[in-house]
Every structure is written in C-alpha cells, then in structure tokens.
Chain A
Amino acid sequence: MRHGYTGIPRWALGIAAVGALFVLLPLAAMAARVDWPHLLPLLSSEASLTALGLSLRTAAASTVLCLLFGVPLALVLARTSFRGQRLLRSFVLLPLVLPPVVGGIALLYTFGRQGLLGRSLEIAGVQIAFSTTAVVLAQTFVALPFLVVSLEGALRSAGSRYEAVAATLGARPGTVLRRVTLPLVLPGLASGAVLSFARSLGEFGATLTFAGSLQGVTRTLPLEIYLQRETDADAAVALSLLLVAVAVIVVGLSYRGPSPAGGDSGPVAGSRTGRTTGRISGVRREAP
C-alpha cells in the first residue's frame, strides 16, 4: 500500500512533524548535554553499575511475575463474560493512570510492617517493605496492565475460533492454551512482556515510596539518576542516556515483533480474514 491513496490532509502532516519533534527534541537536548569524553567512567562507577544490575534483575523478575499473573488475567478478560468483568478490567488497568506514588502508598499499607498482609507476614518472619522484593512488587504493580492490555487485545483479535476447532479435535483446555492460543498471540505476548519490562525498568515513584532508596538493595537506576542529579549532573545525564538507549532497544525489538515458530510467511498467513495481531498497542493491524 506504499503507493496507495493515504487520505491524510496536508496540515495533519505538519502537525505530526511538530509532534514528533516534541518527543525528539528533549532527547536531543539531553544528548547534547552529555559529557561524552567522560561517559564511560561516569557509567562504570560502582554506584551506577550496582544500580544498573539491580534494575535489570528486578525488571526481569517483575516481567516474570507479570506473565504469571497477566496471562491468566488477560484470558479471563478476553475469553469469558461475567458480572463485574468491566469492573475487574478497570481495576486491573488502574495502575496505568494512577500516580505511581499512590501505588507505592497502597502497597505499603498492604505489605508494610503495619499493613493488611504485612502484619501476618511479619509474624511469619517475612519482611517485604524496603527490600528488593518490594522493588519487584512495586514494578509488577505498575507494569502488569501493559501486559494485560497488550495480550487481551491480541486474544480478542485472534478470536476464539481456532480454539473451538482445537477443542472439537479432542484437545483439552490446557493443550489448547499451550499449542494453539499462546502460539497465535505470541507477538502480542512478546510485546506485552517487553513493555512490562520497559515500564519496570523506568519505575520510580512506587519504588521510592514502598521500597526506599538503599544502595544495592532497592536503589534502581531511576532512583540513582534522581540522587545523582543533586550532586553530579553529568553522571545523571549519562545514566539517563543509558536508560534511553535501553528503552530504544526494547521498543525497537518489540516493534519488529518475532514471528511465531519462525514461519516465513508471518504469524497470520493462512487466515483470509485479515486477522489482527497485537503489537506494541495490541491494536496494530497487519496487512493480510
């Protein structure tokens, strides 16, 4: 369709260019401010490396938790209908619009020493608040909706007809999920996981509130940047650049999207109905 009629008015193109600049310009401004000659020493300071390592580990753990909770949640939201389903969806998606610091406070009153579950956990000898576990929980809390939204969109556009056929062929629900549903929505699942990972990596407010800022334990990269900004602006900018680079890589990977099972004709070939696949937003339509 590259040479087809686009139907976009000229003025929309102009405004789109301004919009793109609005995103690119601050990044360029930051890049211009980077102390390039000292970039490597700034990035390889012990504090930076510790924060980066912690960030990668906790974001990976959060992504696993998001998959664990998010896949069943998306299945329930996309494939079933029951009273209160809209309400459930609203609550699952709430962290998308909730200020993260509010999420942090809510988590504190749940898992904190005086919290709803925290008190019982304390008796059992488990303390979560202000630990690395708290970082993972805070990140999962804010990142879960990304996975659910992305996967639910993919599930809905994939439809349940393949699953119905699989069931009539004698496949039990677990087999259908493993051999049909998940392979079909793999692009949506992958992009959801990547987005969750990226969101976890950037988490700041909820982490600071619920987990604090203890070097090597809870001080992730964003927290380190915020701290450095007060004392060493060059280090903060260098670390910011690092986060931007990671984000660009992550988004780039998810946008290209892996094709399930390495099919060279794409994930939806064979469907003459122009099935949609969930990509970055779960609503990207792939040309048939």
Chain B
Amino acid sequence: MTFSLQAAVADRHFDVTLNLAEGETVAVLGPNGAGKSTLLSVVAGLLRPDAGHAELDGRLLFNLGPGRKAWTAPHRRGTALLAQEALLFPHLSALENVAFGPRSAGVPRGRAREAARHWLGEVDAAELAGRRPGELSGGQAQRVALARALAAGPELLLLDEPMAALDVHAAPLLRRLLKRVLAGRRAIIVTHDVLDAYMLADRVIVLEDGAVTEAGPTRDVLQRPRSRFAAGLAGLNLLAGTVTATGLRTAAGLDLAGGHEDAADPGQAGVAAFPPSAVSVFLDEAHGSPRNSFPVTVTDLEPHGDQIRVRAGELSADVTPAASADLGLAPGSRIYFVVKAAAVSVYPA
C-alpha cells in the first residue's frame, strides 16, 4: 500500500515525482517559490496538473495527459490539509470544527461529536471544545485544526508549514504534538525549519525551481548536502566542482584540500562541505599545509548566536565579536577565509 505521484505543471515549471510508503512521513524543504505548496495543492486536488499520474493505496487520484483525463475530486481523496493558518470555520465551535470531517462523511451528529472529542483529547485540547475560533490563541487554533484534519481520517495527511505562523512558545508545543501523532502515519510536511525535518520526518526531499534536487533519509541529506539549499539549512558551506586526488577543484579554479568520504573518485563531479565554525578569518593570506586559504569580499555581517557570522557571497565564517572588531570587518572588506583540510568533507555530487 503506497502513495505515488508524478506531476507536471507547465506554467510553474513544476515537475516532481514522489513516493511514500505506508506510515512514512516525508519533509519537503526548499526556498520560497520552489513549488512546495504547489506539490500539496496537486496532491490534495486543489490544483490540476497538466500531466501526471497519482495513486493512493491503489485508488487513482489523477491520470492526466494527452488522451488521459481521470480526476478524483478533493473530497474523495482522503488527503486532509493542515495549512499555515488554522482556517477554523469561524461560525462553528472548536468541537463542531473537528466534527466537520466525520459529519461530511455521513457520520450521525452524535457519533461525529464523540469522535471530535476523542481527537481534541489527542491534541491536548479537550477543554477548548466549546470555544469559538475567535477565542483561541494561534497555537490553540492550530491544535484544533490538527484535530480536525486527523478526525477526517485521512490516508495521507498534508501539512503546509503548520508551525510558520506560530510564536516561539506555541511552535515547540505543536512540534512535539506532531511528533506524537505523525508516528506511523503517512504524511507530507512542507517546512522551512530543519528542526521539523529532523524531528518529524523519516525522509526529506529538497525542491528547487519546481524539481526535486535532493532526496534521502533526513540525516544523510543534512549531513552530506549536495544542494546549496540543503547546505544552507544544515548550516554548512558548500562548494561544487571536480573531485581531485587531494580534495576538490571548483569551477573557478580554486583547489581545496579535504578529506574524501567513501567512493569519491578523482575526476567525477563532487562537492566540498565545511561548517562556518571551522573557517578562520585573516587579513593576509595564510600559508602552510594542510590549510585552505582563499580571498573573499565580505558582503554581510550578522549576529549568529554569540558569534558574528561573516558572509562572503555563498560562503560564511563565524568569528567572535572581538575578533570582528579587531579585524575591522565591514561589508566590502577584502579578507581571507582559512579552513583546515581536516574540516572539509569531499563527496560525490
């Protein structure tokens, strides 16, 4: 029993293939406009792709293309959607909101309410049953919305950045709750937050410009990112180029010394990753192997924890505020980034 999807939306340059096993949760990461919400809309049936094919547990969701016109309406798909905003029906109480799914499926009022009470309890919101959506905080509303989605008994739960609109206190609570209810449940969660991917998902896919650029178990993708976006999420610097005997040569001709991870053969395309904390900043070129030293121009300085993150184009380094002041760093400064070879991981792209 699986979920499989292949869909293309021409005017959004969207072309994605995705498969989910029973009980599997996949996190979809990607920059704004990459097509994450498009993916959920296509799965939910709110957006009709130009071509593609999707099945959920043997049921056809759509089969579109030249000469193919099969389409299942959203209400027959079993794919409940939890959006960034709770979108609780404002004219119904929390209980009636949660009972909405069962009621729509033809469950009698009394039993639907019973089910709603059960699901409100599951999200620790039993005491909110009688409240109107207007009387709920953002976090409470989102919990009720989660209960509403679960009460509909979806075979595939769709979560579109469910934590994005919550404040810093409400988000962790909902994340813990999601971890509990998503265990063993098939779900797709779109998120900006790498923490969501770690805590909630078995697998991640990275979407960029409407296409999957990375896919794999969460830990692998974030430890060994191949796309700049995933590297940014994981907080790593990433340089792409060709694997050499000692490390990696970038397209710009920069030679980096680094440690090869398994099966990186010289000559093949590869990436070198290193954390900003491993980068030191000097005003002059530093010598002495096995160190990498390359000239950069500072583009930005920003606070990062108790450090200053020095950004130079796509790369960044973390220095102490005192060091930053000593070096007189400012946007436009020409400096050298120095990183030990031991801190650089090279692996095939």
Kindly specify which of B99-107, B189-197, B321-329 makes contact with the partner chain: B99-107
Q: B87 near A161 (CB under 8 angstroms)?
A: yes
B148 close to chain A: CB less than 8 A: yes
Q: Is A267 an interface residue (CB 8 A)?
A: yes
Q: Does B259 contact A (CB under 8 A)?
A: no
B74 to nearest A CB, angstroms? 4
B90 touches A167 (CB 8 A): no
Q: Is B215 an interface residue (CB 8 A)?
A: no
User: B89 and A168: CB pair below 8 A?
Assistant: no
> Do A265 and B148 have beta carbons less than 8 Å apart?
no
Contact B105 A263 (CB under 8 A): no
- Chain A, residue nearest B83 (CB): A165
Contact check, B81 vs A267: say whether CB atoms are below 8 A apart. Answer: no
The closest CB in chain A to the CB of B165 belongs to A272
The answer to whether B104 touches A270 (Cβ under 8 A) is: no
Q: Are A167 and B135 in contact (CB under 8 A)?
A: no
Q: Contact check, B89 vs A180: say whether CB atoms are below 8 A apart.
A: yes
- Please name the residue on chain A nearest to B86 by beta carbon: A270
Given the contacts A169-B148, A169-B152, A265-B134, A270 and B141 also touching, CB distance less than 8 Å: yes
Asked whether, in the complex, the Cβ of A168 is within 8 Å of the Cβ of B100, the reply is: no
Q: Which bucket holds chain A's interface residue count?
A: 20 to 34
Instruction: Among B74, B86, B100, B158, point to the contact of A179 (Cβ < 8 A).
Output: B100
Task: Write the nearest CB–CB distance from B179 to chain A, whole angstroms.
Answer: 22
Interface flags, A136-150, vs B, CB<8A=1, else 0: 000000000000000
- The interface residues of chain A lying within 8 Å CB-to-CB of B158 are 168
Per-residue CB contact flags for chain B residues 117-148 toward chain A (1 = under 8 Å, else 0) read: 00000000000000011111010010000001
- Given contacts A162-B89, A184-B91, are A270 and B81 in contact (CB under 8 A)? no
Say yes or no: A172 contacts B75, CB within 8 Å: yes
Please tell me if the beta carbons of A260 and B87 are within 8 angstroms of each other in the complex.
no
Nearest Cβ on chain A to B209's Cβ, whole angstroms: 25
CB distance from B326 to the nearest CB of A (A): 46
Contact A167 B75 (CB under 8 A): yes
- In Å, the complex CA distance between A162 and B89 comes to 7
Which bucket holds chain B's interface residue count?
35 or more
**Cβ-defined contact, B133 with A270, below 8 A:** yes
A273 is an interface residue with CB less than 8 A from chain B:
yes
The answer to whether B300 has its CB under 8 Å from any CB of chain A is no
Cβ–Cβ < 8 Å partners of B133 in chain A? 269-270
Contact B91 A183, beta carbon cutoff 8 Å: yes
A170 at interface, CB cutoff 8 A: yes
Contact yes or no, A175 B104, CB < 8 A: yes
Q: Is the CB of B91 within 8 A of A261?
A: yes
Given A164-B74, A167-B75, A272-B85: A263 touches B134 (CB 8 Å cut-off)? yes
Contact with A along B148-189 (1 / 0, CB 8 A): 110010100010000001000000000000000000000000
B88: chain A residues at CB < 8 Å are: 270
Which B residues touch A184, using CB under 8 A?
Answer: 89-91
Which residues does chain B contribute within 8 Å of A170, judged by CB atoms?
A: 75-76, 78, 80, 101, 104-105, 152
Q: How far is the CA of A175 from the CA of B75 in the complex (A)?
A: 10
- A interface footprint on B17-34 (CB within 8 Å = 1, 0 otherwise): 000000000000000000
Q: Give every chain A residue within 8 A of B91 (Cβ-Cβ).
A: 183-184, 186, 260-261, 263, 267
- The answer to whether A169 and B90 have CB atoms under 8 Å apart is no
Q: What 5 additional pairs, Cβ within 8 angstroms, besides A168-B154, A184-B91, A268-B90?
A: A166-B104, A169-B100, A170-B78, A172-B104, A261-B92
Q: Interface residues, chain A, CB within 8 Å of chain B?
A: 161-162, 164-173, 175-176, 179-180, 183-184, 186, 260-261, 263-273
6 A-B pairs, CB-CB below 8 angstroms? Answer: A168-B75, A170-B80, A179-B103, A270-B90, A271-B85, A271-B90
